[in-house]
Every structure is written in structure tokens, then in C-alpha cells.
């Protein structure tokens, strides 16, 4: 771990709540740690190998890191060694088959989290347990921010709204959306960034449409929305230089948009 943090929260429980702190048992080494998000670039040679054209690029691995924890010696009631019951509690909390939210309790990482689980090894001296080494595995090649929620609306035809895609990754994100229709008609939602149009025909006043890629549903059982949807899901786009998405709504409505920006950092 390259971050100077002393505490973390995992699945809603703080490390400090259990009387532990992030530490390093051997401080003599100097570490060089990559920043995650490692990309594999696939190319093919042209011009007799004088130039290699990019054909695709992928993230091959998810983020993982290793760090250590020990008892917090600043607590006068603490012992240096870890008891059998404390070991069981740490294992039950961290060594789980599913991924759960992990947050470093550090100001620079405020609002940033990972989804992770751990393999846990004991650190022993003369048969006594003094701490643990945690090997953290995540389900992504980067971190993500807490969800950004934006509400846009159109009180008349051809209303335009602007949303900035705050992700560190170029490309697109399919947000979750809740669309409340305020006038009967055919609903369209166009993003001028790519001129992509999401279209839903035969919408009714008061209807609530929920979109969570690749699913869409209506609050009205009578609306066979799968037949009236053009199956072109709305998405937020960005490049390094342009993060602005200009959105045009065709009907009076309120659209609640939720997405989690990608954050290209590691720990």
C-alpha cells in the first residue's frame, strides 16, 4: 500500500472499531507501486514493421495489493499480541467469498471506494500473533466514486440539459435512470456528443420508466415497453478534452440520472 492511511472501512465496519491499525512490520524496503489500470495494447505490423497499428486495448487484470495490520498501541487497553478470538473475528470479517465495499479513511480518498475481498495471513513471532498480512483482491482495474445523482427536466418541447461525465476513463457509461413522463407522447432522449437517440413510443402522463442497462421497465402494466423501445440505451460519453454531454428531451418530463465515475487510482 502506497497511501499513508491508518484506517479503512470494509462492509460498513472500521478497522479501528476492532482495535487495529494499518502498519508495516518491515520499513526498510522502498516500494515502487504501479497505479493500477494497466492496459494491454494489441497491435499488428504495417510498412514492413515500421509502424504497428492499434487493433484493440483491454484491461487484463483487476487491482490487487498487499498490506499489513496490527493492534493499535495508542490504546492503553490494548495488548501487542492478537488473541485467538480476535483472529477469528478478523478472518470472519475480511476473508469472505464475495466482494464488499472497501474505503480508505483518508481525506484524499474521500468518496472513492473499491469492491474487494481478502486472503489473510498471520504474522507471528515466537508462536505469538502480532498482526496480519492482507492480500486484497478487487473486481475492477480501477476504483469508483460514490454515485453521482443528477436530475434534468423538460418543461416544454426541445429542452436541453448539460451533464459532465466525470469519469477518468475515456468512453461511455450507461447510467441508471428514472424517467417520470408528464405528457402523453413518444419520448426521445438525445445526446449531442454522439447523436445517439433513445426512443420510447406511446408514453403516458404519470408513467415512471426505469432504465438499468440492459433492462428497462414501466410502472404501467398496459405499456408493453419492450415493443416500443428502440433498444438504443442512453449513455454518458467523454474524452480527455471533452466531458460535456448536451441532452435534449422531447417530452415534458423529469429524468433522474445516477452513475458511478471511474477513478484511476490504486492503494
Across the chain, what does the average pLDDT equal? 86
Each residue of 187-211: pLDDT tens digit? 999 999 999 999 999 999 999 999 9
Is a pLDDT exceeding 80 seen at residue 30?
Answer: no
pTM of the model: 0.77
Is a pLDDT exceeding 50 seen at residue 33?
Answer: no
**What confidence tier does 236 reach under pLDDT thresholds 50, 70, 90?**
very high
Each residue of 50-106: pLDDT tens digit? 456 666 666 567 888 889 999 887 765 667 888 999 999 999 999 988 899 999 999
Is a pLDDT exceeding 60 seen at residue 48?
Answer: no
Maximum average pLDDT range among 29-43, 62-76, 148-162, 251-265: 251-265
Q: Give the Cα separation of 236 and 255 in Å (integer).
A: 14
Q: Note the pLDDT of residue 155.
A: 63
Q: And the C-alpha cell for 128?
A: 505469538
Each residue of 91-141: pLDDT tens digit? 999 998 889 999 999 998 999 999 989 999 888 888 888 889 898 888 888
Is a pLDDT exceeding 80 seen at residue 13?
Answer: yes
Q: Note the pLDDT of residue 35.
A: 40
Q: Note the pLDDT of residue 28.
A: 46
Q: Note the pLDDT of residue 45.
A: 72
**What confidence tier does 37 reach under pLDDT thresholds 50, 70, 90?**
very low
Q: Give the Cα separation of 164 and 243 in Å (integer).
A: 5
| Angle at alpha carbon of residue 145, lines to 16 and 17, rounded to 5° | 10
Nearest to 60 by CA among 35, 32, 37: 37
User: Between the CA of residue 72 and those of 15, 77, 78, what are the distances in Å?
Assistant: 10, 10, 7
Q: Note the pLDDT of residue 27.
A: 47
Q: Give the Cα separation of 70 and 130 in Å (integer).
A: 6
Amino acid at each position: 500500500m502506497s497511501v499513508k492511511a491508518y484506517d479503512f472501512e470494509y462492509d460498513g465496519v472500521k478497522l479501528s472499531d476492532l482495535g487495529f491499525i494499518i502498519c508495516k512490520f518491515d520499513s526498510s524496503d522502498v516500494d515502487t507501486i504501479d497505479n493500477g489500470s494497466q492496459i494491454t495494447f494489441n497491435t499488428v505490423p504495417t510498412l514492413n514493421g515500421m509502424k504497428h497499428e492499434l487493433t484493440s486495448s483491454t484491461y487484463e487484470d483487476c487491482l490487487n495489493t498487499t498490506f499489513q495490520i496490527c493492534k493499535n498501541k495508542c490504546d492503553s487497553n490494548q495488548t501487542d499480541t492478537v488473541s485467538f478470538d480476535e483472529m477469528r473475528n478478523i478472518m470472519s470479517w475480511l476473508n469472505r467469498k464475495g466482494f464488499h465495499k472497501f474505503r480508505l479513511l483518508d481525506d484524499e480518498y474521500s468518496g472513492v471506494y473499491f469492491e474487494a475481498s481478502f486472503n489473510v495471513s498471520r504474522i507471528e513471532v515466537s508462536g505469538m500473533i502480532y498482526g496480519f498480512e492482507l492480500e486484497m483482491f478487487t473486481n475492477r482495474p480501477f476504483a469508483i466514486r460514490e454515485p453521482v445523482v443528477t436530475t434534468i427536466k423538460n418543461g416544454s418541447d426541445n429542452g436541453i440539459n448539460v451533464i459532465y461525465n466525470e469519469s477518468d476513463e475515456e468512453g461511455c457509461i450507461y447510467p441508471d435512470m428514472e424517467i417520470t413522463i408528464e405528457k402523453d407522447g413518444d419520448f426521445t432522449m438525445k445526446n449531442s456528443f454522439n447523436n445517439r437517440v433513445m426512443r420510447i413510443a406511446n408514453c403516458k402522463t404519470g408513467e415512471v420508466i426505469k432504465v438499468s442497462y440492459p433492462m428497462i421497465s414501466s410502472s404501467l402494466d398496459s405499456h408493453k415497453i419492450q415493443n416500443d423501445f428502440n433498444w438504443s440505451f442512453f449513455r454518458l460519453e467523454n474524452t480527455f478534452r471533452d466531458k460535456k454531454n448536451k441532452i435534449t428531451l422531447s417530452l415534458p418530463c423529469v429524468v433522474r440520472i445516477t452513475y458511478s465515475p471511474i477513478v484511476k487510482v490504486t492503494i
